[in-house]
Chain A
Amino acid sequence: MRRKDVLDLDDFTADELREVLETTAAMKEVLARPIRRVPPLRGKTIVNCFYEASTRTRVSFELAAKNLSADVVNITASGSSVEKGETLVDTTRTLQALGADMVIMRHGASGAPYLVARELEASVINAGDGWHAHPTQALLDLFTVQSRLGSIEGRRVAIIGDILHSRVARSATWGFTTLGAQVVLCAPPTLLPIGFADAVNTGLRAKGIVTACPVTVTHDVDEALRDADVVMALRVQRERMDSGLLPSLREYSREWGITRERIAKARFGALVMHPGPMNEGVEISPEVAYGPQSVIEAQVTNGVAVRMAVMYLLAGGRAGPAV
């Protein structure tokens, strides 16, 4: 992979995505060994820089880095000089001076990792920035779908929930469409970002990807589910109700929640995904979340392998089973 940073999937080619997925398969094989540790990042320092609360993503990156024999340092916004008012640019310069080889960054402000990547010689992996992007989450979604369904091209992926505030939806949309899938985004009108489908469709044409209608938008959940091979539910937060975007979670769950009755409208055997954490009974019912079509736990497991693959490739490793 010839790039310094992984900030989003919008600038990935299909070949680059395939390289990551192939390498992830090799990392899965490493994870199946009795001793999961391999040496490619020995002596490298990886800084986990989390300005926003996160459990699964931070732990997933930490495990991935340790499995690759890197030294891992965790910085969280509380308990660091960030609390003393240190700016992001200051922190970045400090990381540079301390010799970090790779920085994993989670930040509440969209675009913050781009600022850091411009300042820093080290590689930056975006672990989620504001509403904008979460590329490793999207990569693990791609890997999960590829390994369960065998292919991504030509599949129909329904992403249902709070699209407006979702970095997962944005990155997943770029990832799936770049590999030739169609994505349908479904939400109440107040939770859909105006113009996003246009932006992606235009961006895909610029990349030379010519799928018919790669991204469409609907408010009708039944229409979104029709012929879907993959159904991804997104978390809907209680605060959306307080800010007037939704009348009530009850109404949301009745009109847009993924229930057993609704999932029957998708293609037989369609995969059910969720980036977590779930509001069971709101955007997804427990019998779907834990039912036979759910791959939600596999997503978490695959997350470690995908992050190992991304770090390995960024550090100069080559695709394939050579680890």
Chain B
Amino acid sequence: MSNPNNAIRLAGAHGRFLGSLVIRGGRVIDPAQGIDAITDIAIRDGFVEAVGVGADAPPGAQVIDARGLIVTPGFVDLHTHLREPGFEYRETIATGTAAAAAGGFTTVCAMPNTEPAIDTTAVVDFIHDTARRQGSVRVYVIGAITRGRKGKALADLVELANAGVVAYSDDGDCVTDSALMRNALAYSRTTGRPVVQHAEDRALTTGAQMHEGSVSARLGLPGWPRAAEEVIVARDCELAALTGAHLHVAHVSSAGTLDFIRRARSRGVHVTAEVTPHHLTLTDALVGGHWWSATASLPAYDTRTKVNPPLRETPDSLAMAAGLRDGVIDCIATDHAPHGITDKHCEYQAAASGISNLETALGSVLAVVHAGGLTLVEAIAALTIRPARVFGLAAGSLLPGMAGDVTILDPDREWCVDPAQFRSKGRNTPLAGHLLRGQVIQTIVGGEVICDRSA
């Protein structure tokens, strides 16, 4: 675990949110401080001033009545595809951060598989600048590991860190070359930023469309075996041990992967990991649609089920929840991957991978809570302080002095997922038409209410 005292505080991107307000009467859950109590929170000029019954409202500040609701630190997403620059038809920084706010996320980390890739200071600056002008929430930037994300040569990792990137990743592609990955990890020690690996041995996933198992066998779709993830994670754990660097495993999908992470951790290797809401809750049966389950809401071959890494089987999704409980998995990250209609309205094999996730993440995670797979406090920790600690971000807690980023939610409010109502441009979700239990009521960034469903 990173030391929260070494938290990165970025200048720039977040000066805009300087509101003052007080939130009264909610059940405040702040795992970072061990708080779970009905109490009040005062935010002054963008920062938490006090947490406690009767916390004072700054004169003239808005008073939010949160009685009957849960009040948590704003959610932190370590894995968001904002698509800008290059794929603005899928998402922009403006729409992606609006979607984040709608989903209760007040901090997102933008993945670098844009066009151009985020491998130079100029692109980092562009994102910071655009986020400052158009963003609804705080945006941190993840830089590419390799130049152009091509997996051949290292990007200027120190320069990127100086420009403010909080981690490195070639996400969407795996750094397959072992020597290059070793060098990336070794070199990352100069900046202390984690190297985030998309673990996929491409030689094992040629043409792969979905999890390799009985559903793929029946559908005649080339399979993506668990081993393709596990072999890379096993290798990278050894390389992290060799170099002493911080490896972060993106979107863990296979139960077996957790064994490698657990083993490395027990040897003191600095490995962290994240899991997505969909790998916690959905399985490959969804790709088989009606064939697999009479109650399935989707037909077979529905491209909204296509995601990389793929949806796996029930033992895997159960292992993900168990991993969050016992800490092998540090946090939940959305892997929000918005796509345009034409990216998905086509043959399964031609379809883009990814799920538009920011606006349904809380409902999905709470489904695990309602089913008894996680406690509410564990789920909130996995969305707030735990991801913040992985990247060393000054976020995810309501400690006085921290940014006044708050999510107010109703864990029992039921709502039907209607992608037409999404703030995201990406309407690609297999949850369309699903009833979710648990909804964000208000999202507050720096004391300003950015999203409000309280009416």
Residue of B223, B348, B350 with most partner-chain A CB within 10 A: B348
CB distance from A137 to the nearest CB of B (A): 14
- Residue in chain B with minimal CB distance to A166: B220
Query: Once bound together, how far apart are the Cα atoms of A89 and B342, in whole Å?
Result: 9
Residue of B209, B217, B300, B347 contacting most chain A CB atoms (<10 Å): B347
In the complex, chain B residues whose CB is within 8 Å of the CB of A111: 219-221, 300-301, 347-349
Which residues of B (203-249) have their CB < 8 Å from a CB of A? 209, 212-223
How far apart are B352's CB and chain A's nearest CB, in angstroms? 13
Task: Tell me the minimal C-beta distance from B313 to chain A in angstroms.
Answer: 10
**In the bound complex, what is the Cα–Cα distance between A115 and B300 (angstroms)?**
9
Report how far A108 CA is from B291 CA in the complex, Å: 21
Q: Are B213 and A195 in contact (CB under 8 A)?
A: yes
**Stretch of A125-133, A249-257, A262-270, A304-312 lying at the B interface:** A125-133
Contact of B300 among A114, A130, A196 (CB under 8 A): A114
Chain B nearest Cβ from A92, distance in angstroms:
11
Q: How far is the CB of B298 from chain A (nearest CB, A)?
A: 11
Q: Which residue from chain B places its CB closest to the CB of A107 in the assembled complex?
A: B347
Take A111-B348, A112-B347, A115-B347 as given contacts and tell me if A200 and B218 are in contact as well, using a CB distance cutoff of 8 Å. yes
**Contact partners of B300 in chain A: CB under 8 A:** 111, 114
A: contact size bracket: 20 to 34
B346 within 8 A of A: yes
* Inter-subunit contact A194/B350 (CB<8 Å): no
B54 within 8 A of A: no
Please tell me if B116 contacts chain A, counting CB pairs below 8 Å.
no
Contact with B along A175-203 (1 / 0, CB 8 A): 00000000000000000011110111011
A194 to B220 Cα, complex, angstroms: 11
B299: Cβ under 8 A from any A Cβ = yes
Given contacts A115-B301, A170-B218, A203-B218, contact A194 B213 (CB under 8 A): yes
Q: Which of A109, A167, A203 has the most B CB atoms < 10 Å from its CB? A: A109
Q: Is there contact, CB below 8 Å, between B214 and A132? A: no
Nearest chain-A residue to B203 (Cβ)?
A244
A112 to B219, alpha carbons, bound, how many Å? 11
Contact B347 A10 (CB under 8 A): no
Distance of A118 Cα from B216 Cα, bound (Å): 21
**Of B217, B342, B348, most A-chain CB atoms within 10 Å:** B217
Look across to chain B and name the residue whose beta carbon is closest to the beta carbon of A170.
Answer: B220
Is the CB of B434 closer than 8 A to any CB of chain A? Answer: no
> Whose C-beta in chain B lies nearest to the C-beta of A115?
B347
Chain B: CB-nearest residue to A108 = B349
Asked if B345 lies at the interface with its beta carbon under 8 angstroms from chain A, I say yes
The residue among A130, A170, A193, A198 with the most chain B CB atoms within 10 A of its own CB is A193
A239–B262 alpha-carbon span in the complex (Å): 41
Bitwise, A1-35 to B at CB < 8 A (1) or not (0) is 00000000011000000000000000000000000
A199 touches B347 (CB 8 A): no
Question: Given the complex of chains A and B, what is the CA–CA distance between A269 and B350 in angstroms?
Answer: 46
CB distance from A273 to the nearest CB of B (A): 20
Beyond the given pairs A89-B346, A193-B217, 18 more chain A to chain B contacts, judged by CB atoms under 8 angstroms and listed by A's residue number, are: A110-B348, A111-B219, A111-B220, A111-B301, A111-B347, A130-B220, A130-B221, A131-B221, A133-B220, A167-B220, A170-B218, A193-B216, A194-B213, A195-B215, A195-B216, A195-B218, A198-B214, A202-B214
20 CB contacts below 8 A, A to B, read A87-B342, A89-B345, A89-B346, A107-B347, A109-B348, A110-B220, A110-B221, A112-B347, A114-B301, A115-B347, A131-B221, A132-B221, A167-B220, A170-B218, A195-B213, A195-B214, A195-B216, A196-B214, A196-B217, A199-B217
